[in-house]
């Protein structure tokens, strides 16, 4: 579980930051949440920091293990009951997809309850052209140090059927223009693995690093991207004659990526 806020002096509440992510059931990958919270508390020391997971499935799985992580709505209800004056909600999602739009509805619902509890919402990582340019630069600046000339880097995003999924081909095109051997594709959207396979054949790629384009390197990274199962990207690339090296490093471990989220949070706080 993300660490508890160190702010304990405000018994009646004043201002809070709510960090929101889909979540993960895996313990080790969640270390990145603690790292982000540390930065947030250092930058805004007078604000109480809370977490909410938007994925109902992940919250349910954690509950089955005896661990309770609240939804964003539950956190906001608690803050309102504690008579907080304002809260900045920051999405740590990658794109403004379905979970983010559900969050928008929840925040707007609390806004309609009255002006005594002011709320603002910071946008996800890839929320505009400037964001995509920054993400592209951040990814290219953080390629594996052991990568040699001619070796590829294949980034696995989650993907979605939501219209916001258009972010992925846009970012993929930006990356390819800068470095044709940096390939972004997705599990559940477009581009998908068939585009990876096509580029592997076209560029005669024989070695590649596999890296998650995900907030955390959780189950998708460890069970869909890599691993011995026949349907993992690693196995499918092996079948194509590609020697792969999985790198279990989430994008939230890239400081230049985290800086984008923090800039969005800064904007949300200013809007209050």
- Given a contact cutoff of 8 angstroms between Cβ atoms, the answer to whether 82 and 116 are in contact is no
Cα(126)–Cα(264) distance, rounded to whole angstroms? Answer: 11
Does 50 qualify as catalytic in the annotation?
Answer: no
Structure-token match 């379905």, residue found: 98
50 is in an annotated binding site: no
**83 torsion bin: left (phi>0), alpha (psi -120 to 50), beta (else):** left
188 marked as binding residue: yes
Could you give phi then psi for residue 52, rounded to 5 degrees? -140, 140
Q: How far apart are CA 272 and CA 268, in angstroms?
A: 7
Distance CA 66, CA 83 (A): 29
Helices (H), ranges, the chain: 31-43, 56-64, 72-81, 98-111, 129-140, 167-178, 193-202, 219, 233-239, 255-271
The answer to whether 264 is a known ligand-binding residue is no
Q: Report how far residue 43's alpha carbon sits from residue 146's, in angstroms, rounded to the nearest whole number.
A: 34
Q: Which residue bears the tokens 């196995």?
A: 235
Please identify which of the residues 50, 93, 101, 158 carries the catalytic annotation. 158
Distance of CA 30 to the CA centre of its chain: 12
Q: Which residues sit in the known binding site for Co(2+)? A: 158, 188, 220
Residues noted as catalytic = 158
């Amino acid at each position: 579980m993300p660490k508890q806020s160190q702010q304990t002096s405000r018994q009646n509440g004043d201002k809070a930051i709510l960090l929101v992510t889909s979540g993960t059931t895996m313990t080790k990958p969640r270390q990145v949440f603690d790292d982000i919270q540390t930065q947030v508390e250092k930058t805004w020391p007078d604000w109480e920091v809370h977490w909410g997971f938007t994925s109902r499935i992940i919250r349910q799985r954690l509950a089955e293990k005896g661990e309770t992580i609240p939804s964003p709505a539950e956190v906001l209800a608690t803050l309102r009951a504690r008579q907080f004056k304002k809260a900045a909600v920051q999405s740590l999602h990658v794109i403004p997809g379905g979970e983010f739009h559900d969050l928008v509805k929840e925040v707007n619902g609390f806004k309609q309850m009255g002006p005594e509890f002011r709320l603002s919402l910071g946008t996800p990582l890839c929320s505009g052209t400037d964001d995509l340019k920054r993400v592209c630069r951040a990814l290219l600046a953080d390629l594996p140090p052991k990568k040699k000339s001619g070796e590829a880097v294949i980034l696995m995003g989650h993907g979605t059927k939501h219209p916001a999924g258009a972010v992925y081909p846009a970012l993929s095109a930006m990356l390819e223009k800068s470095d044709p051997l940096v390939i972004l594709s997705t599990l559940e959207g477009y581009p998908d693995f068939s585009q990876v396979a096509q580029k592997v054949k076209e560029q005669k790629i024989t070695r590649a690093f596999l890296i998650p384009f995900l907030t955390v390197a959780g189950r998708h990274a460890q069970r869909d991207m890599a691993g011995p199962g026949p349907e993992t990207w690693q196995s499918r690339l092996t079948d194509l004659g590609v020697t792969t090296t999985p790198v279990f490093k989430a994008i939230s471990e890239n400081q230049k990526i985290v800086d984008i989220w923090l800039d969005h949070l800064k904007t949300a706080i200013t809007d209050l």
